[in-house]
Amino acid sequence: MTFRDRTTNVDALRSWRGDVEADYIYTTGVAGERFFTELRDTGRILAAHCEACERTYLPPRMYCEKCLGPLSDWRPVRGPATVEAVTIASVDAHGNRPPEPEVWAVLRWRGIHGGLVHRLAVPPKQAKPGLKVHPVLRPAGSRVGNITDILYFAP
Amino acid sequence: MTAKEVRWPGKELTAKEFYNKVTVTRYRPEAKFAWSAGEAMSRFLAELQRGRLIARSCSSCKRVLFPPRMFCEECFRPTDAWVYVRDTGTIETYSISYIDLDAKRIETPVYVGVVSVDGASPKMGIMHYFGEVAPETIRIGLRVKAEWKPAHEREGSVLDIRYWRPLRRGE
Amino acid sequence: MRKVACIGAGMTLFRRRLQETPKEMCWEAARMALDQAGLEIGDVDAVVFGSAPDAFDGIHMKGENVLDACGGIGRPYVRVFTGGGTGVFSPIAAYWHVASGLFDCVLVVNEEKMSSCQPHPQSVFGHIWDPILDRPLKPNLVWIFAMEMNRYMTVHNVRYEDVAAVAVKNKRNAVGHPCAQLADPHITVEDVMNSEVMAWPVHRLDISPPSDGASALVVCSEEFARTHRIESPVWFAGVGWNIDTTFWTDRDLYFPEYLANAAKIAYKQARITDPRRQIDFAEPYDPFDYKELHHMEGLGLCKKGEAPRLTREGVTQRDGDLPTCPSGGLLGVGNPIAATMGIKVGELYLQLSGQAGQRQIPHEVRTGVTNAWGDLMQFSSVVVMRA
Ligand SMILES: [Zn+2]
Ligand SMILES: [Zn+2]
């Protein structure tokens, strides 16, 4: 069965326009507050360790996702990060082409569960898995406690 | 959760802490839409622009469905014909609003409510504004008539009706 | 179908603003419910998550965002959604997980973080209205409640002070709740009546506050409760849900027909033929004071139009013959939409297992009913529980 009347004149069909307006402020949370204030104030990247499961989480969280126990053992990540996967972004979030393609990567640290996604400051051709990189931060004093306090990762 | 519990989780923030102290991220989504009005609403909007209200009838349950729809949700079959309904009706319920969309106070209150439309099945109507009323004169059961915008200002919108106002003598 | 029990409950503080992220709130409530039941996440077979529209938290698909905090990793995990009705609907989903025989132990976690939404959570409520018929009028959500309250009061000739008395009772009851946001031992009917008018006849104190919060329940089979030596399980006696037309302007707002239909399903299962006599207390959904009255009538706890009189006569006080909202309700404890599970089904569990502390109803109660209300204000979910 279908509708008994159908519009055959397409000009008679209408549409209605509107924006879905919304504005948000997200707290970084109990674990996020500690992670981001540490990054802002000392430049260190902290992870949280679960003794029972022998897992260290990055980004750190207040609970272990495996045993649902609380996490209180926090420690800075050590050594360089390893590039696990890369993508070369030729279009931005709005579908526009940036002047230069951007290199983005999944970054992991030895002995750490999880990792970070961030920009990589290397030419697209050199962006390969296995690359060892370090974070490059905004200068102390201009950091605000946000993931963009890390400008990018570089070899 | 027993009476012997002492610590309840949750770290309360004051407005000052929330807006000025703790680390936060901000985000404003940009979501823009164009909704297809579809069969029933396209005709409904076109008729509004002509200064008329239109409904659909269902030959099975004999209801006149307003606002119009292409299917009868009770009989679960297509509706059968276009039917004009009148631009007069009855206030089913109303409110006098002192707040806007964002819950901010407004100076001049807005009269808003549901009007059931003459010619449609009982209780069938729309939400709209009321005008030429006061807190003392508006009431449930009041008979009202659509106050249309002049033809050249109408654009095929529910706002082509400015508001519904009390019936005048002889209407 | 198998017998199903509730054996643990947890919840966070309900507050205007919490620092915790949605995940963190979920974990705090889930951890507390597991601790209370004496279980670990390894004992849980499946997880149900409940939350109202994503637009409050501002995280699209938030069920996926929070699943690690709910113990969802590597388990059958599902989000259920019936808008404001979710608070009582997700326990129903947990119920059918267990009653069906598919799972023995299910963790239910509900969460809402409304403070993320600026300048006020009411702004995004604008998006639930029909874009063509309603949105051009720039409606505030309170309008629909105001119109329903006016219709209800007009049809039954209800006095405003009898409606305001519900807000007073619930905010006073909330004094005994450790998570309460708006408990007030001294509030009077005059305070409510003199609070500023939002959308007449709704005044500021007729409305529950927007809140951040999470709650959790542990639900299990009879055999699981026995083998784990659970001391005071509380049983699901009946569940039901029902929804009315999206064209809310098509129905008479004076009576919640959808709730009467949902209650009928739950009462049939619970073998309740005379709710007023067979039910000892109720946690009707009370985001607005008139809604408690509306819902008492929809639940068949009194005749249509009779709830204001019962309230006036003190029948619904905690020590009355039919205590309603002994938790303090949404009006007193707060309204983190789906997380109100903690003061609806959660309160039935605590009252019926004798763990409600200061809020414990002074006489013996064996059967309780609760409901939540939501979707586009035309849906209700109902749970009946027995000790
Ligand atoms: Zn662990
Ligand atoms: Zn029909």
- Which residues of B are less than 8 Å from C200 in CB distance? 95-98, 109, 135
Q: Which residues of A touch C124 (CB under 8 A)?
A: 22
Neighbours of B152 (CB within 10 A): 6
Q: Provide the percentage of residues in chain B whose pLDDT is more than 70.
A: 96
Q: Which residues in chain C have Cβ-Cβ distances shorter than 8 Å to B103?
A: 120, 122-123, 140, 142, 198
Candidates C18, C21, C30; nearest CB to A68: C30
For B23, which of A1, A14, A145 is closest by C-beta distance? A145
Tokens, residue C244:
């009315």
Interface contact A20, partner B, CB < 8 A: yes
Q: Strand C117-118's sheet: what is its strand order?
A: B24-27, A23-27, C117-118
Helices assigned H by DSSP within chain C: 22-37, 54-57, 62-65, 86-99, 122-125, 142-156, 160-173, 189-194, 222-227, 257-269, 275-278, 289-298, 307-312, 329-333, 345-352
Closest chain B residue to A144 measured between Cα atoms?
A: B23
Neighboring chain B residues of C11 at a CB cutoff of 8 Å: 1, 8
- Domains identified in chain B, total number: 1
Would residue B101 count as lying in a domain?
A: yes
| Residue C304 pLDDT | 98
Taking CB atoms and an 8 Å cutoff, what residues of chain B touch A150? none
CA distance C24 to B78: 49
Give the residue-averaged pLDDT of C118-143.
89
Give the residue on C whose Cα is nearest the Cα of A16.
C132
Q: Could you tell me which residues are beta bridge partners of residue C210?
A: C335
Residue C153 has pLDDT above 90, yes or no: yes
Domain of B54 in residue numbering reads as 39-166
Ligand closest in space to the Cα of A69: 1
Contact A24 C27 (CB under 8 A): no
pLDDT reported for residue B3: 45
Confidence (pLDDT) at C248: 86
pLDDT score for C281: 98
Q: What pTM did the predictor assign? A: 0.94
Q: Looking at residue B1, what is its pLDDT?
A: 47
| One-letter amino acid for residue C254 of the chain | Y
Rounded CA separation C57/C51 (Å): 10
- What average pLDDT does this structure show over C207-216? 97
Those chains having 3 or more beta-carbon pairs within 8 angstroms of chain B are A, C
Please check whether residue B161 lies inside any domain of the structure. Answer: yes
Is C143's pLDDT higher than 90? Answer: yes
Mean per-residue pLDDT of chain C = 96
- Who among A16, A18, A26 is closest to B37 (CB)? A16
* Torsion sign, CA atoms B40, B45, B46, B50: positive
Q: Does residue B8 sit within a domain?
A: no
Instruction: State residue A2's pLDDT score.
Output: 79
Structure tokens at A17: 């326009």
Q: Give the distance (Å) from ligand 2 centre to CA of residue C243.
A: 18
- Inside any domain, residue B10: no
Domains defined for chain A, CATH in brackets: 27-154 (2.40.50.140)
pLDDT bracket for residue C284 (50, 70, 90): very high
Instruction: Give the Å distance between the CA of C258 and the centre of ligand 2.
Output: 20
Q: Specify whether the CB–CB gap between C111 and C22 falls below 8 A.
A: yes
Q: What percent of chain B has pLDDT over 90?
A: 85
Amino acid at A63: Y
Q: Average pLDDT for residues B91-110, to the nearest whole number?
A: 93
ipTM: 0.91
Which residues of chain C have a CB within 8 Å of the CB of B27?
A: 58
Minimal Cα–Cα distance from B34 to chain C, Å?
Answer: 10
Tens-place pLDDT, residues C89-102: 999 999 999 999 99
Ligand nearest to the CA of B56: 2
Tens digits of residue pLDDT in C226-273: 999 999 999 999 999 999 998 888 889 999 999 999 999 999 999 999
Residue C150 C-alpha to ligand 2 middle, in angstroms? 30
A87 touches chain B (CB under 8 A): no
Name the residue facing C41 among A16, A61, A67 (closest C-beta): A67
pLDDT for A7: 81
All domains of chain C in start order, with CATH: 4-118+209-386 (3.40.47.10)
A42 within 8 A of B75, measured Cβ to Cβ: no
Nearest CA to C219 out of C25, C58, C30 is that of C30
Instruction: Confirm whether B15 is domain-assigned.
Output: no
pLDDT given at position C124: 85
For residue C101, report the phi and psi dihedrals to the nearest 5 degrees. Answer: 90, 0
Q: Which residues of C touch A66 (CB under 8 A)?
A: 41, 73
| C23 interfacial to chain A (CB closer than 8 Å) | yes
Across the interface, whether the CB atoms of B95 and C147 are under 8 A apart is answered: yes
Whether residues B95 and C28 touch (CB distance < 8 A) is answered with no
Q: Name residues 126-165 of chain B within 8 A of C (Cβ).
A: 126-129, 135, 140, 157-159
C-alpha span between C305 and C255 (Å, rounded): 9
Q: What is the mean pLDDT of chain B?
A: 94
Q: What is the pLDDT of residues B2-57, one digit of tens each?
A: 445 567 999 999 999 999 999 999 999 888 889 889 999 999 999 999 999 999 99
What is the Cα A81 distance to its own chain's centre?
A: 15
Average pLDDT, chain A: 94
Peptide linkage before C275 cis (omega within 30 of 0): no
What is the Cα–Cα distance from C91 to C9, expressed in whole angstroms? 11
C-proximal residues of A, 114-143, CB under 8 Å: none
Q: Is residue B149 part of a domain?
A: yes
pLDDT at C4 (0 to 100): 98
Taking alpha carbons only, the member of B121, B100, B98 closest to residue B108 is B98
Work out the average pLDDT over A99-105.
93
Q: What is the mean pLDDT of residues A53-58?
A: 97
Domain presence at residue B154:
yes
Q: Which chain C residue shows the shortest CA-CA distance from A15?
A: C132
**Residue B145 located in a structural domain:** yes
pLDDT above 80 (res B113):
yes
Weakest-pLDDT range from B89-93, C128-132, C191-195, C308-312: C128-132
Is A18 at the interface with chain C, CB within 8 A?
yes
Judge whether A28 is closer than 8 Å to chain B, CB to CB. Answer: yes
